[in-house]
Structures are given as C-alpha cells and as structure tokens.
Chains A and B, each alone.
Chain A
C-alpha cells in the first residue's frame, strides 16, 4: 500500500447504530483528536480554522463583495470544516478564502506556477484547479468523509520540494 492509499482509506467507516458502534466511534475520535493536538501534525499551526470561521462570518451576507456575491452558508462552512479535518496528519495546511459563488476555498500556494485551489460547495462538491509548471489539472470530486486521492496527490505535487 502506498502512503497515499493509506491516507485515502484509513479513516472511512461503514456506519453503525449499536451502543458498541458509538463507543468505537468515540474512541476513534479521541485518537484522532489526540494526534491532531500537536502543531506538527494538526490544524493549529497556521490558524486556518480561525481563518475559516472569520471568512465565513465576514461573507455570510449576500453581496459581501459589493458585486452581488452569494453568501457563505452554514452548510458550506461545515463541508469545508470537515474537508479540513479530513486532511491526513502532517499534510501541508492551506489558507482559506471565499468566492463570489458562495463557495469556500482552500489554497496551497508555493509559487505563481505551483498552486492548487480547492473550492467547497454546500453540497460537498470539491472543485479543484492546479497549476504545476506548464501543466494544469482541474475537475470536480464529491467529498464524503475522506479527501479524494487525486486532491491529495495534487497537494503533494504542489508542495513537494
């Protein structure tokens, strides 16, 4: 198994309704929380969670840019939040922003020719676009608990030395 495959499948689960299933989910959550607490592995390092909340608050009304932009809704915020939480431990953390169509955006920027932008819609669609030197990559992937492999690969390619 490659490390990317490990990340892709590592945290997916089939649901459960019994008390035991809830106990397991709680233990998994605690384990993840424990691993995400240090700055080296977690989301605290560059304040992206705070930025996400701030951007959402600032752009929660229609026309927030003065040019008719759609508001960022609670649904979009939570989709983006869960996308961020689903990033594998130790992966580069993006910066957060908003788009006029009401999507939240994450950007991994290394230079003007090596950059990746992933915008998250309220339905959980991930629209991505990357510049990698002379080549481009773009498309849409559904988000359901795990970050799609294609996006993890692009993050790696943009951020690798």
Chain B
C-alpha cells in the first residue's frame, strides 16, 4: 500500500511551468436545472465573475461518402450549464448539469489560493445543485516547459526519456506517452501524459515539453466538505510526487 504523506513539503519552484490547474467535481444534479435561476444566483453571489456564458452540449459528426467532400454536422443537445470567467480571465468555472469545473490559467499562484477559490465556488454549486454524492473528483495540473530552438535532448528534461528500440540509430520525430496508474490501497488513479508540442510559428519558439498529471478518484463518495478536503490534500501530494519524480534534476534546477 502506498503511504501518502500530506505533511511532506516540496521544493518551491519560482518558475513553475503550470499552464493550467483544474479541480473538477462530477456529480448528479438533484434540483431542477434552470438557466435563469442559476444565472440569478451566480450574479448575486459571485460578483468577481462578471463574464457568464451559456453552454450547450454539442456533438460533432463528420460524414464521409465516397467521391464527395466530407460533410461536417453539429448536433445541439441542449443547455448544459454556465461558464464563468473572472475579471482578469485567469479563473474559469463551469456550473454544469453533470458537475462543477474550476480552472486557473497561467500564472498559477499557490495551492491554497487555487483550492480556496475552487471550494468557495463549489459550495455555491452544491447548494444550487442539491447533489449528495461526488461521482468523481479530479485534480489536473498541466505543465509546459519551453524547449530551446534547435536540437533537444529529452533526457535533459525527463528522468525516463523515450528510447528508440534496441541499438538502432533512429531519431525521435514525435513523442506521446500516456500511463494510467492505480494508487494501491487508496481510491485514486493517475493519468500521466508526456508529449512534445511542436513550435507554434515564431522563430524563437522551440516548442514545449508537456507533462500533464491528472489525479482522480475511482469511487463515488459522500460530498461532505471534510471528505472533499481530505481527498484534495492527498491528490495534491500524489500530483507533486509524480511531478518531481518525472523531471530530470537539471530541468528542476532551471525551474527554481
């Protein structure tokens, strides 16, 4: 059984490469899910989130028939919920029929600030949704480390870099690696994606190494505040452990 130690402290990185931090709480809404009532509630209770957008569920379909150009079809599946944005656009919240979503875009400040704001908004959601049980809780941190222009040695960044098979003299052209890991003895799993994003156009952009860590619960649980809090602390520890164990020492030095 893995021992989770939420008291462990981690090295502070001045240049932490977090481009997005997410807390997502999926649940089943027990109240009538009405747009105008939700809008009124959020307007009154969350004045720091003045930008409110209605969200519909869509499905996208591509029809391909021999000898004809592909036809794109969009299906509107109806109102899903509201998307809110803070004044500076850095905090994004979604109040959806199937759950609550909270995201902090770059620059990331601190866990306490991020989690505190997420829980403040979640309480508003839970009150409105009258949900009883959390189906799935997710903590996802997407990191992007800028790569230099020119030749890149991934072993300078990753503790376990990609290797061509055998002794063959092959060059890695692209890289995408995904692991799904079950945390033994705890109701958590972790999905880790490591990939390289190609340069985005400008000559000074060498692309980025992405390390996406998604820790989530594997069992539904009663949505009491202390139960969510306990899990968030443990999931944060797991996320940090994965982050510091994935990057090479040199890369961590640069991020200090």
* A residues whose Cβ falls under 8 Å from a Cβ of B: 1, 5-6, 8-18, 20-21, 23-24, 27-28, 31, 74-75, 78, 142, 144
Question: A75 to B195, alpha carbons, bound, how many Å?
Answer: 34
Of the candidates A5, A6, A18, A21, the one having the most CB atoms from chain B within 10 angstroms of its own CB is: A18
- A7 to nearest B CB, angstroms? 9
Question: A5 to B212, alpha carbons, bound, how many Å?
Answer: 21
Pairwise interchain contact A1-B191, C-beta atoms closer than 8 A: no
Question: A142 to B98, alpha carbons, bound, how many Å?
Answer: 11
Interface residues on B, range: 35 or more
Contacts of A10 in B (CB 8 A): 180, 191
Interface: B28 (CB within 8 A): yes
Chain B, residues 87-113, CB within 8 Å of chain A (1/0): the string is 000001010001001010110000000
Which of B22, B75, B101, B195 is the one whose CB lies under 8 Å from A74? B75
Pairwise interchain contact B182-A1, C-beta atoms closer than 8 A: yes
Which of B135-143, B148-156, B222-230 binds A? B135-143
Pairwise interchain contact B75-A27, C-beta atoms closer than 8 A: no
Interface: B247 (CB within 8 A): no
Q: A9-B180, A13-B191, A74-B75 are in contact. Are A23 and B59 (CB under 8 A)?
A: no
Which of A5, A18, A142 is the one whose CB lies under 8 Å from B142? A18
Q: A14-B24, A16-B140 are in contact. Are A144 and B135 (CB under 8 A)?
A: yes
Contacts of B210 in A (CB 8 A): 20, 23-24
> 6 A-B Cβ contacts within 8 A?
A9-B191, A18-B19, A18-B103, A24-B212, A31-B178, A74-B59
- A151 to nearest B CB, angstroms? 16
Contacts of B20 in A (CB 8 A): 16-18, 20-21
For chain B, what secondary structure do more than half of its interface residues adopt (helix, strand, loop), or is it mixed?
strand
- A43 to nearest B CB, angstroms? 15
Contacts of A9 in B (CB 8 A): 180, 182, 189, 191, 216, 218
Pairwise interchain contact A18-B105, C-beta atoms closer than 8 A: yes
Interface: B176 (CB within 8 A): yes
Q: A9-B189, A24-B142, A31-B176 are in contact. Are A142 and B19 (CB under 8 A)?
A: no
Q: Which B residue sits closest to A122, measured CB to CB?
A: B77
Q: A6-B180, A14-B22, A144-B98 are in contact. Are A28 and B193 (CB under 8 A)?
A: yes
Q: A20-B19, A20-B20, A144-B135 are in contact. Are A78 and B77 (CB under 8 A)?
A: yes
Contacts of A12 in B (CB 8 A): 136, 189, 191, 216
Interface: B240 (CB within 8 A): no
Question: A91 to B46, alpha carbons, bound, how many Å?
Answer: 47
Question: A27 to B175, alpha carbons, bound, how many Å?
Answer: 10
Question: A117 to B94, alpha carbons, bound, how many Å?
Answer: 35
Question: A20 to B103, alpha carbons, bound, how many Å?
Answer: 13
Question: A12 to B190, alpha carbons, bound, how many Å?
Answer: 10
Q: Which B residue sits closest to A7, measured CB to CB?
A: B180
Q: A20-B20, A27-B195, A78-B77 are in contact. Are A15 and B101 (CB under 8 A)?
A: yes
Contacts of A144 in B (CB 8 A): 26, 98, 135-136
Chain B, residues 114-152, CB within 8 Å of chain A (1/0): the string is 000000000000000000000110111010100000000
- B107 to nearest A CB, angstroms? 12
Which of B28, B92, B180, B212 is the one whose CB lies under 8 Å from A17? B92
Question: A160 to B105, alpha carbons, bound, how many Å?
Answer: 47
Pairwise interchain contact B144-A20, C-beta atoms closer than 8 A: yes
